[in-house]
Amino acid sequence: MRAIRYGGFQATPEVVAVPDPVCTDDGVVVEVEASGLCRSDWHGWMGHDPDIALPHVPGHEFAGRIREVGSSVGVWHVGDRVTASFVGACGRCEACRRGQHQVCDDQQQVGFHCWGSFAELVAVPRGEQNLVRIPDEIPMDVAALLGCRFGTAYRAVVHRGRTRTGEWVVVHGCGGVGLSSVLIAAARGARVVAVDVSTAALERARRFGAVAVLNASQDDVPSAVHDLTGGGAQLSIDAYGSAATARTSISCLGKRGRHVQVGLLAEDGGTVRVPMAAVLSAELDILGSHGMPAHDYPEMIAEISSGGLDPRPLIERRVGLDDGARLLADAGGAGRPGVTIIDPRS
């Protein structure tokens, strides 16, 4: 099969022929129809993820039809339309037994621990714990986005952020995760302030329901948010991932506000200086959010099927593997606005 592969961190990704993946007893092989280019793929390529062994085929946000089913998998069949929660939970550890698959002790993330979906075929181990059924009315490129960024945003806004109607919600970084967060928070009746350094990203945030936008390279974001909201936001999400955006996000909160960290922190081993005195005196919540367990997907999928949430306009471009290889290496900085989908068949 054809796949995007890199032989070294920050080495040029190439489209090459590699052997077809082998189906594990507990897993499936999926014929990939769409695979989103997430910033986490870029972090992996940069060498920020210790779980990646070289050479590597990245890609973890995918959807397609099942081509092969492992001998111990009962509920999935050839031809089923699926995505997978990128977490790759084991289903057996203490965290999984409590239903908290998103923080599994023994994750097998496709595209990180094992080869991923920037390829014609992808092996997905632990199928029963991680696959998610996609109804016919949801297109494959939208389904792909659910496997990582839209699902992650849903958990960050709804389950971790507990967004309520009328609340002020600030989203820092308006790429795949951030624009999804804007859309989901606005659909829940929140007043969303979008922050980015790219005017193109901010234009899109307005389209997805932000009532105000701030440019982090020009504006004093915390003081503008305190002015706009009359005392600070109830929820603020770092959907970019840096010490600076995490601190800015916390500084945007009003009393009893919630900060949710979604963006990966590559610098200083992920250490951020947090104003703990303010956390104490204003009773702030500092929360992390990691993916979403497969068993929590039906609620979100029902909202998409009924038209309550429409992720389709998030997708801006569809490319083949050759262009995908080029865009992977070029996804740092402000990147490209909206979501890029790689279709390995084109």
Ligand X SMILES: NC(=O)c1ccc[n+]([C@@H]2O[C@H](COP(=O)([O-])OP(=O)(O)OC[C@H]3O[C@@H](n4cnc5c(N)ncnc54)[C@H](O)[C@@H]3O)[C@@H](O)[C@H]2O)c1
Catalog residues that contact Zn ion under the rule CB under 5 A. 38, 40, 89-90, 93, 96, 104, 148
Q: Does 149 bind ligand X (CB under 6 A)?
A: yes
Using CB under 6 A as the binding rule, whether residue 34 contacts ligand X is answered as no
Q: Which range, of 32-40, 77-85, 127-135, 273-281, touches ligand X by CB under 6 A? A: 32-40
Q: What is the DSSP string of 139-176?
A: -HHHHHHHHTHHHHHHIIIIIIS---TT-EEEEE--SH
Q: How far is the CB of 186 from Zn ion (least distance, A)?
A: 22
Phi, psi of 331 (to 5 degrees): -95, 5
Alpha-carbon torsion 53, 57, 60, 65, what sign?
negative
Q: Which of 5, 172, 258, 259 binds ligand X (CB under 6 A)?
A: 172
Q: Which is nearer to ligand X, 115 or 154 (CB)?
A: 154
**Out of 58, 70, 161, 173, which residue is the one contacting ligand X (CB under 6 A)?**
173
Q: Does 174 bind ligand X (CB under 6 A)?
A: yes
Per-residue x/- track, 275-314, ligand X (CB under 6 A): --------------xxx-----------------------
Return the residue of 40, 109, 129, 249 that touches ligand X, per CB under 6 A. Answer: 40
Between 165 and 271, whose beta carbon lies closer to ligand X? 271
Task: Annotate 283-295 with three-state secondary structure.
Answer: CCEEEECCCCCHH
Return the number of other C-beta atoms located less than 10 Å from residue 45's C-beta: 23
- Choices 89-97, 237-245, 271-279, 314-322; region in contact with ligand X by CB under 6 A: 237-245
Told to check if 328 binds ligand X by CB under 6 A, we report: no
Assign 227 to helix, strand or coil.
helix
Whole-angstrom distance, CA of residue 194 vs CA of residue 287: 19
Distance CA 229, CA 14 (A): 48
For Zn ion, the closer of residues 62 and 168 by Cβ is: 62
Structure tokens given for 17: 């022929």
Residue at 15: amino acid letter:
V
Interacting residue with ligand X among 73, 140, 193, 195 (CB under 6 A): 195
Direct distance between the N- and C-terminal alpha carbons of the chain, in angstroms, rounded to an integer: 13
Angstrom distance (rounded) from CA 161 to CA 149: 16
Site for ligand X, rule CB under 6 A:
38-40, 43, 148-149, 152, 172-178, 195-198, 201, 216, 239-241, 245, 262-264, 289-291, 331, 334-335
